[in-house]
Amino acid sequence: MKKNSNKQYARALHKVTTDLTGKNLEQVLENFVLLLSRDRKLKQANNIIKEFVDYADKLAGIVKIEITIAEKISGELLEKIKKHFGDKVSAETKIDPSILGGIKIFMGDKILDASLKTQLLKFKKGLCQ
Amino acid sequence: MSVNSIVEQLKKNIAAFEKKTEVEEVGAIIEIGDGIAKISGLTECQASEILEFSNAEKGGGKTFGVALNLETETVGAMILGEFKHLKEGDIVKRTGRILSVPVADELIGRVVNPLGEPIDGGAPIKTNKYYPLEKIASGVITRERVNSPVQTGIKAIDAMIPIGRGQRELIIGDRQTGKTAVAIDAIINQKGKNMICVYVAIGQKKSKIARIVAKLKETGAMDYTIVVVAGASDPASLVYLAPYAGCAMGEYFMDQGKDVLCVYDDLSKQAWAYREVSLLLRRPPGREAYPGDVFYLHSRLLERACKLNKDFGGGSLTALPIIETQAGDVTAYIPTNVISITDGQIYLETDLFYRGIRPALNVGLSVSRVGGDAQTKPMKKVAGKLKLAMAQFRELEAFAQFASDLDPETKKQIDRGTRITELLKQPQFSPAAVEDQVLAIYAVNNGYFDSVEVAKVAETEKKLVEFAHRENPELLKKIVKGEWDEKIENEIKKVCEEFIK
């Protein structure tokens, strides 16, 4: 039997649970856990939950970003950045003084690096050549 | 340079610097150990792409890796070089570059690692040109048949197992039988023959490599040689890549229409390194625990040896792979594979080595499938007779001890055989020129050495060569040019007869 990936489990779960409520939902979730135990995937449960949330967000059109910045971010700037990525944006912010200045935005498995540190390193490389 | 101009230059550089922000794709290490990392993310990653591992603690220091396994949710990569500082959760970036080495004319005379970084303490190699390590070999349209010889300077090889430019000739034998010596002699003999040599040392002791480099420098061979080193202490990833790196450097010169000689010393160690990497990547093991594609590992490397035709520059890349056997077992997995890929093999034997026959060539088992076409005419003429005499001698060799009871004809053949064997002995680092080889082989074939004591054959040969150089240098020049007719043969005859007197 071909092994299913975490993503496939998450998608399947999403598909069967979208329009369910109350008792039915409970029943489905119980069955899903049994399925995971049968497939020996209980260890992966946390990853599957993560995939599930990601998938649901994606369907709902929510873009998740993580902003790293050297100092505390102002509300106004945050709104501006959020607007740039679309209407529904859920943003997390992280303060990391080691990037010196500028901003670093993670978006799924992409990274937009406009930090001062990276720019300086690039500049150093350019001068050394 | 004055202070002002430095400032000017600096200002110009600063002005030219553009603030660029690029979207980069990243992933994170899930699992790491033994030089292999399992990475999440990197959805767009290509096969054999270079990955950049950045570790926050190490600041600007960068480590590179190569993506080998692309799986549904993870990427398996091998790390090139040190990996102790990397840990789970570290960020990995795509570079978008396929694994490649820098190539330039200034590589000649240098000792570099498989990534093209010098390890001889010299200046870094500055070039903008990169060649991919893995490249599909030249196609049918671009090739032509092997037609010119590689003179190894070793009499036994040049006469009986000739190697042509663009050929792949395997050197196989147990440890300590002089495999490396044959290859190094061949490199040393390329002096002034318009050949670029690449010596790839794979998984060897650093002391041995240092000795070889010193010898190459001493004989002046370093002026046209590149040494690519992945030593025994280097990680398996670099050992596995070394031959491809050497081949890519060779291809750069071949594409310029030059002739290249590539020695891979030795491929059994590369197969071990590849086995290690494969098992760590959890690829299923097969025979002798090698992965299923170990044949392809060598065939794709050796297939890159070729002779290009005029329309494609006319360059060539000759490969001399070396394989070490265990206790003379050529039926092991890797030796049989490589024997079947190459265009012939030079088989070296421990027995012969200890009997004093050096190079310890087993003439019966060694063959060259295409080199015969490449021999010069004089060599072809004299070598044919030599091969026949050696074959007859091998049949009769067992009777040699009862020499007194044999009929005169058999005795003569045995005597001739022992003298030929003696003539084919050659000390290390003393390559013989083609004309000298032809002359000596002609003399022994036609019985001019029959009256010489066996122990004195080498000495007499030396005297004969000196005599010919003194008496008839014109004749030798003609032989070098590859001319051969009755007149020349008669002249050689005359020289030999005069010498015997």
Dump pLDDT digits (tens) for B414-461.
889 999 999 999 999 999 999 999 999 999 999 999 988 999 999 999
Q: Which amino acid belongs to residue B334?
A: I
Find, in chain B, the residue whose alpha carbon is nearest to that of A114.
B21
Q: Residues of chain B with pLDDT > 90: what percent?
A: 69
Active-site hit among B145, B287, B355, B369:
B369
Rounded CA-CA distance A85/A117 in Å is: 24
**Of the candidates B194, B307, B196, the residue with the CA atom closest to the CA atom of residue B253:** B196
- Which residue from B119, B122, B125 is spatially nearest to B104, judged by alpha carbons? B125
Q: Which of the four pLDDT bands, split at 50, 70 and 90, describes residue B67? A: very high
Rounded to two decimals, the ipTM of the complex is 0.71
Asked if A109 lies within 8 A of B24 by C-beta distance, the reply is: no
- As beta bridge partners, residue B112 has B118, B228
Question: pLDDT higher for B402 or B357?
Answer: B357
Give the pLDDT score at A124: 79
| pLDDT value of residue B68 | 94
Question: How many angstroms away from the CA of B25 is the closest CA of chain A?
Answer: 4
Domain ranges of chain A: 1-58, 61-125
Indicate if the pLDDT at residue B207 is higher than 80.
yes
- pLDDT per position as a tens digit, A51-97: 888 888 888 888 888 888 888 878 888 888 888 887 788 888 888 88
Listing DSSP states for A53-97 in one string gives HHHHHHHHTPEEEEEEESSPPPHHHHHHHHHHH-SSEEEEEEE-G
Q: Is the dihedral of CA B40, B42, B46, B48 positive or negative?
A: negative
Q: Which residues on chain B are in Cβ contact (under 8 Å) with A111? A: 23-26, 91, 93
**According to the model, what pLDDT value does residue A126 have?**
73
Reported pTM: 0.89
Q: How far apart are the first and last CA of chain B?
A: 73
CB contact under 8 A, B42 and A123: no
Handedness of CA B431, B433, B438, B439 (dihedral sign): negative
Domains of chain B with CATH codes: 23-97 (2.40.30.20), 100-374 (3.40.50.300), 376-498 (1.20.150.20)
- Known binder of ligand: residue B174? yes
Q: What integer pLDDT is reported at residue B260 of this predicted model? A: 97
Q: Distance from B9 to chain A by nearest Cα, in Å? A: 10
Mean pLDDT for A22-37 is 86
The answer to whether B20 contacts A109, with C-beta atoms less than 8 Å apart, is no
Q: Is B143 a catalytic residue?
A: no
CB proximity B56 to A under 8 Å: yes
Q: Which residues of B touch A126 (CB under 8 A)?
A: 13, 16-17
Q: Which of B171, B216, B201 is nearest to B359 (CA)?
A: B171
State yes or no: B96 annotated in a binding site: no
**Is the minimum CB–CB distance between A75 and chain B shorter than 8 Å?**
no
pLDDT at B154: 95
What pLDDT sits at residue B106? 93
Please indicate if any CB of chain A lies within 8 Å of the CB of B19. Answer: yes
Q: Is B34 on the interface with A (CB under 8 A)?
A: no
Is the pLDDT confidence value at B7 over 60? yes
CA-based nearest distance A4→chain B, Å: 10
According to DSSP, the residues that pair with B67 across neighbouring strands are B77
pLDDT value for B273: 96
The residue assigned the tokens 């498995």 is A109
Q: How confident is the model at residue A129 (pLDDT cuts 50, 70, 90)?
A: low
In the Cβ-directed half-sphere of A129, how many Cα atoms lie within 13 Å?
A: 11
Q: Which chain A residue has the Cα nearest residue B126?
A: A129
